[in-house]
Amino acid sequence: MTRILSVENLSKRFMDGNQERLVLDDVSFVVESGTALAVCGPSGCGKSTLLNLIAGILEPDAGRIVLNSGSDEIDYASLTRIEKTQVRRKHLGYVFQFFNLVPTLTVRENVLLPLELNGSEHLERASLDRLAALGLADREDDFPESLSGGERQRTAIARALAHEPVLVLADEPTGNLDAGNAQTVAQLLWREVLALGGGLVIATHNESIASMANHVLRLNC
């Protein structure tokens, strides 16, 4: 297995009124290809913050994040904000709790959007085949508002994987789904990410879903 992500001694603080609050303190872990890491802990303990640091959306106060893109080792400390956006767009996939689909685009258009942004149109057929594998072949021309919660999340998964990222981040991706849909969506997410040979970091409150991961990182408030 190849090491995809290295997180070393990561710390992050936020101002809460006039007080400084330590959200993440000296967090370290690695993610290898073909594996999943579940990040667990109560609300407010830094799960989303950790994912946003890995995505390059937030800056750490201390520590180091290194992404292995397959051809290069990318040390976030050496990147500008624009370069981090480019890394996120090219090498990372992100699945959100609230789906974040573009309401004015069809299912097909939502899924293919990352390919247009990256100039990766050669992956269009594979992306649509993945959409079909997720059970949405007959919903390609529908808009998000007509989909169920489970269908929206499956569309979001297909979009996150369209450009075949080396690492997928999922922030409570089943938080808005009933128990049956949550388990189904989690299994589909695992299957599709690992089929690409990538890695997965998933923030979740759901112990059943966390138990599916290769490793579990527990954050304490």
pLDDT digits (tens, 9 = 90+) for 139-179: 999 999 999 998 999 999 999 999 999 999 999 988 888 88
Q: Whole-angstrom Cα distance, residue 61 to residue 70?
A: 27
Name every residue whose Cβ is closer than 8 Å to that of residue 191 and which is 6 or more positions away in sequence.
none
Strands 19-32 and 3-16: antiparallel
Q: Answer yes or no: are the C-beta atoms of 54 and 65 closer than 8 Å.
A: yes
pLDDT 10s digits, 15-40: 777 888 889 999 999 999 999 999 99
Single-letter amino acid code for the residue at 21: R
Question: Which range, of 35-44, 54-63, 181-190, 196-205, averages the lowest pLDDT?
Answer: 181-190
pLDDT value of residue 147 = 95
Residue 85: give its domain's CATH number.
3.40.50.300
Residue 72: Cβ-neighbour burial (10 angstroms; 0-12, 13-18, 19+): exposed
Distance set, CA 56 to CA 26, 80, 189 (Å):
18, 10, 22
Pairwise pLDDT comparison (156 vs 194), residue with the higher score: 156
**pLDDT computed for residue 16 by the predictor:** 78
Of 51, 69, 68, 66, nearest in space to 12 by CA: 51
**Domain limits at 60?**
3-218
41-92: pLDDT as tens digits: 888 889 999 999 999 999 999 999 999 987 789 999 999 999 999 999 999 9
- pTM comes to 0.90
Query: Residue 195 corresponds to which amino acid?
Result: A
Residues with Cβ within 8 Å of 174's Cβ and at least 6 positions away in sequence, in order, are 153, 181, 182, 183, 185, 186, 204, 206, 209
Q: Please count the structural domains in the chain.
A: 1
Q: How many CB atoms lie within 10 A of CB 12?
A: 21
Average pLDDT (124-153) is 92
Residue-level pLDDT at 36: 95
